[in-house]
């Protein structure tokens, strides 16, 4: 289904190029169109996610949440976005001008680029790289540079502390994040997200069952990677005001905000593709004949609901507890997981 739609859209687009005598530029234009489509999808999806987060948190606290702007308050985020864009851009006088300007752009672009390899449906992927997982982890790791730059260039001690904390946290949690994906790569023998989903389609099971431990470790580390509570010490508002984005306002703040939510979407997408069978229909629900990308989005929403539930359930960790948890619990567990998986593969069980 998804493949057909994409094929039709591509045919239409190439017809349009021919009509406008731009066929020679097709590869460039294709990239532009893909980027615009992805950005539109992500912008709308993030707006929905912000609304969802506010609704989820509200109902967990016996409140109603936004319900005035639009039906069920769905347009609340749009109103907030308009407010953020027309807001005055307040800048510290003694900032480091160039890094201060670049940091939010990097924070947004780094996470946005992670979406390139996400397979939304069979054949619906911007570019299926054969090093997909490696690419996602590497490119989303750029956010730490953005956060550190933002903290440094703001010339504000709270922002700087937030940046430092974020660097320490992401360096610590990147390791279990990668190591939780290693067992799946060992079993499938590929780094391409599309091939991993194909493997699950052939095998008839999702990796969440045999690799439950890896799934949980990935979920925890992904939450920490996205700087979300209970791992939000880089922006712990009770200690650091806003952390690295203390001195940012208006559109630049919106970029950081967008980056955080896109990071969440990317993590949830990777988890969906690797552990939850990507665009495959869940067992016993195949009779619904929903298109693959609907299942994919539903699974992403489930993952994001989990991450949101973490945020509104668990209290924030202290810095030393955070390091303890990362180095003394997650990393040993993921190593044990790799060893056990390797043993099982070796014995051919």
C-beta closer to other proteins: residue 164 or 310: 310
Q: What letter does residue 121 receive in the DSSP assignment?
A: B
* Contact of 248 with 263, CB cutoff 8 Å: no
| Interaction of residue 312 with other proteins, rule CB under 8 A | yes
Which residue(s) pair with 124 in the sheet? 121
* Residue 33 zone, left/alpha/beta (φ > 0; ψ -120 to 50; rest): alpha
Q: Report helix, strand or coil for 254.
A: helix
User: Looking at 309, 319, 340, 345, which residue binds other proteins (CB under 8 A)?
Assistant: 309
Cα separation, 244 vs 159, whole angstroms: 4
CA distance 221 to 216: 9
Can you say whether residue 119 is alpha, beta or left, with left for phi > 0 and alpha for psi between -120 and 50 degrees?
A: beta
Minimum distance from CB of 216 to other proteins (Å)?
8
Of the ranges 195-203, 243-251, 281-289, 306-314, which one interacts with other proteins (CB under 8 A)? 306-314
Q: How many residues does the chain have?
A: 349
Min. distance of Cβ 262 from other proteins in angstroms?
Answer: 25
Binding range to other proteins, per CB under 8 A, among 15-23, 37-45, 105-113, 310-318 = 310-318
DSSP structural state of residue 25: G
At which residue do the structure tokens 């054969």 appear?
A: 130
Cβ distance to other proteins smaller for residue 34 or 324: 324
Listed ranges 54-62, 98-106, 191-199, 296-304: which one lies at the site for other proteins (CB under 8 A) = 54-62
How far CA 15 is from CA of 11, 34, 37, in Å, comes to: 6, 16, 18
DSSP 37-104: HHHHHHHHHHHHHHHHHHHHHHHHTT-----SSSGGGTTHHHHHHHHHHTS-----TTS-HHHHHHHH
Residue 320 contacts other proteins per CB under 8 A = no
Rounded least distance, CB 284 to other proteins, Å: 22
Candidate ranges 13-21, 51-59, 160-168, 192-200; the one touching other proteins (CB under 8 A): 51-59
Q: Which residues pair with 121 in a beta bridge?
A: 124
Q: Work out whether 61 is an interface residue with other proteins (CB under 8 A).
A: yes
Residue 315 CB, shortest distance to other proteins, in Å, is 9
Of the pair 119, 230, the CB lying nearest other proteins is at: 230
Choice from 13, 35, 38, 60 touching other proteins (CB under 8 A):
60
Of the ranges 19-27, 60-68, 90-98, 250-258, which one interacts with other proteins (CB under 8 A)? 60-68
Q: Is 62 in the site for other proteins (CB under 8 A)?
A: yes
User: Is 202 a binder of other proteins (CB under 8 A)?
Assistant: no
Interface pick for other proteins out of 64, 186, 285, 345 (rule CB under 8 A): 64
User: In the numeric block, which tokens belong to residue 283?
Assistant: 């067992």
Q: Which is nearer to other proteins, 33 or 216 (CB)?
A: 216
The verdict on 98 binding other proteins (CB under 8 A) reads no
For position 318 contacting other proteins by CB under 8 A, the verdict is no
Q: Between residues 121 and 232, which has the closer beta carbon with respect to other proteins?
A: 232
**Tokens 């234009």 sit on residue:** 29
212 sits near other proteins (criterion: CB under 8 A): no
The encoded tokens of residue 301 equal 């929403």
Q: What is the DSSP track for 62-77?
A: T-----SSSGGGTTHH
Task: Report if residue 238 touches other proteins, rule: CB under 8 A.
Answer: no
Binding site residues, other proteins, CB under 8 A: 56, 58-64, 216, 309-310, 312-314, 329, 333
């Amino acid at each position: 289904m998804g493949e057909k739609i994409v094929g039709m859209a591509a045919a239409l687009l190439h017809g349009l190029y021919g009509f406008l005598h731009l066929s020679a530029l097709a590869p460039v234009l294709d990239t532009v169109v893909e980027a615009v489509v992805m950005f539109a999808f992500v912008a709308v999806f993030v707006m929905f996610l912000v609304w969802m987060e506010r609704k989820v948190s509200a109902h967990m606290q016996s409140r109603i949440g936004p319900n005035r702007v639009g039906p069920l308050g769905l347009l609340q985020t749009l109103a907030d976005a308009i407010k953020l864009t027309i807001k005055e851009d307040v800048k510290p006088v003694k900032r480091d001008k160039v890094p201060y300007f670049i940091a939010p752009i990097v924070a947004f672009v780094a996470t946005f680029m992670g979406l390139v390899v996400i397979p939304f449906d069979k054949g619906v992927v911007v570019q299926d790289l054969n090093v997909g997982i490696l690419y996602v982890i590497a490119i989303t790791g750029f956010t730490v540079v953005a956060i550190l730059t933002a903290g440094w260039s703001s010339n504000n001690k709270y922002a700087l502390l937030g940046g430092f904390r974020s660097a320490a946290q992401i360096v610590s949690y990147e390791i279990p994040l990668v190591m939780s994906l290693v067992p799946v790569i060992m079993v499938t023998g590929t780094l391409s997200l599309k091939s991993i989903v194909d493997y699950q389609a052939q095998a008839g099971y999702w990796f969440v069952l045999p690799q439950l431990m890896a799934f949980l470790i990935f979920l925890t580390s992904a939450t920490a990677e996205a700087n979300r509570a209970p791992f939000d010490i880089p922006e712990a508002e009770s200690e650091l005001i806003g952390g690295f984005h203390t001195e940012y306002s208006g559109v630049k703040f919106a970029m950081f905000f967008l980056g955080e939510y896109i990071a969440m979407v990317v993590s949830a997408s990777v988890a969906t593709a690797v552990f939850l069978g990507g665009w495959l229909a869940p067992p016993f629900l195949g009779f619904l004949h929903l298109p693959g990308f609907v299942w994919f989005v539903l699974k992403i929403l489930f993952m994001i609901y989990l991450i949101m539930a973490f945020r509104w359930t668990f209290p924030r960790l202290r810095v030393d507890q955070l390091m303890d948890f990362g180095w003394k619990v997650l990393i040993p567990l993921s190593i044990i997981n790799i060893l056990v998986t390797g043993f099982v593969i070796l014995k051919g069980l």
